[in-house]
Amino acid sequence: MQKRMNKRLKDIRVKKEMIKPYMIKIFSTLTNTWFHDLYDNLPNHEPRYWHVFIGTNNKYAVALPLPDKRASSIHKTLSEFIDKYHPAKLTSDEESGFLERHNVQLLKDNNVIMHVIQDKNHSSLGIIDRFIRTIRDMNTVSEVSKHQSHEEKYTYISPYRMEKILNTYNNNYHSTIKCTPQEMFNDHNLEKEYILKCIDKSEKQKQIKNLVLPIGSYVRVILPRHDGITKKRYQTSKECYRIDDRKGNMYMLIAQDGCVMMRPRFKLIPVDDPYIIGARENNIVPYAKFATTIVGKWNGNVEKILEYYPKTNKYKVQFVVPGGEPYIDIIPASYLRGSIPTKMSDLEREFFAKETPWFIFTPVTQPSA
């Protein structure tokens, strides 16, 4: 009975020190690259939103007023930012206004690389997410608790207040880059030196054991706690997933029914990893149940494209499911294109090569970064 109890799945806790070596530093090998996102400035306030930009390497921040989240409004702020700062690359989440075809075309016409972080992977958006928390905290009066920065009265930022916050932030020492954002923004040599240091650190990190997990192995996913406690501790999923593919530091995890999700390396723990400890000290849990599904995900992989809908930029496709029957569904083009929505996938190229020439879609050729 005791042996059977020892094999039960445990609610495992993992200290941050155990996963920190696997965290990949976010930086760009290109200069003048940026993250951008929308800051919700609350209803019945002007502006309704702030379109926020922050340099990937130099951490220099910009915020432009935005009346609403319509694609046409975002087109104006994107145009204003591109005309003034001439970015080489813009990275964002899957905000619909960013992915609207006219805005995608705007970036293409200005030779701006468009990179989209999919699957709500906010660990890859850490720079912009952290900055938005910073400006919210800076908008809080110093006499009150830092936890009150999330209250409604501290969320709204007026244009005058935003200007002061940005000026303070850009001209104060940043511990990550070892200078002020304004200094690195003005001096590209400082940014190049920073890039070289990050590359050197990345090369050393590649020597870490188990940094790269083999395809076909099984892992649990580390989940952050949301109880408001500041102590950096995590819990893992009770079920495990099989690694189906890897793209850089991102792993495609698959469940029994073929549903997939993408997760970074530092959020994965092999099921036989010694960090997975049971209720008793040194009681290693050797296995976990293979997850049957992943809620809210398409299951299986796209085998082929059956039809294209130009008005909505969507495809009718056929999915294949491991050990199951294929099925047909309609998906957005961004689902096939991964992190670069302006670059056609191989399936799209194959599909249009067979179609009649009445519709020509020219793929974007962009340098890697």
Which parts of the chain register pLDDT below 50?
1-11, 144-145, 147-148, 227-230, 232, 274-285, 356-369
pLDDT at 323: 66
The answer on 237 and 262 residing in a single domain is: yes
The answer on 185 and 51 residing in a single domain is: yes
- Would residue 189 count as lying in a domain? yes
pLDDT at 164: 95
Q: What is the CATH number of the domain that holds 82?
A: 3.30.420.10
The answer on 219 and 200 residing in a single domain is: no
- Would residue 156 count as lying in a domain? yes
Domain boundary among 180, 204, 228: 204
- Would residue 58 count as lying in a domain? yes
Q: What is the CATH number of the domain that holds 255?
A: 2.30.30.40
- Would residue 103 count as lying in a domain? yes
Strand-pair partners of 242:
218, 254
In order, the DSSP letters of 80-132 are HHHHHH--SEEEE---HHHHSHHHHHHHHHTT-EEEE--TT-TTTTHHHHHHH
The answer on 199 and 214 residing in a single domain is: no
The answer on 243 and 215 residing in a single domain is: yes
Domain boundary among 290, 310, 331: 290
The answer on 283 and 318 residing in a single domain is: no
The answer on 339 and 198 residing in a single domain is: no
Q: Is the dihedral of CA 41, 47, 51, 55 positive or negative?
A: negative
- Would residue 12 count as lying in a domain? no
Give Cα separations from 148 to 43, 130, 169, 357 (angstroms). Answer: 19, 17, 20, 59
The answer on 231 and 165 residing in a single domain is: no
Report yes or no: 51 and 64 within 8 Å, Cβ to Cβ: yes
The answer on 216 and 167 residing in a single domain is: no
Q: How far apart are CA 229 and CA 232, in angstroms?
A: 8
DSSP H or E stretch at residue 134: helix 126-138
User: Cis ω on the peptide bond leading into residue 264 (within 30° of 0)?
Assistant: no
Domain boundary among 290, 314, 329: 290
First to last CA, the chain: 55
Q: How far apart are CA 352 and CA 226, in angstroms?
A: 46
- Would residue 18 count as lying in a domain? no
Query: Structure tokens of 5?
Result: 């109890």
pTM above 0.85, yes or no: no
Domain range for 106: 33-204
- Would residue 313 count as lying in a domain? yes
pLDDT at 303: 84
Beta strands in 177-232 (DSSP E): 218-224
The answer on 214 and 200 residing in a single domain is: no
- Would residue 367 count as lying in a domain? no
Domain count, the chain: 3
pLDDT at 364: 36
The answer on 155 and 97 residing in a single domain is: yes
CA atoms within 13 A on the CB side of 364: 20
Q: How far apart are CA 103 and CA 72, in angstroms?
A: 8
**Of 21, 248, 251, 28, which Cα lies nearest the Cα of 119?**
251
The answer on 268 and 224 residing in a single domain is: yes
Q: How far is CA 342 from the centre of its chain?
A: 17
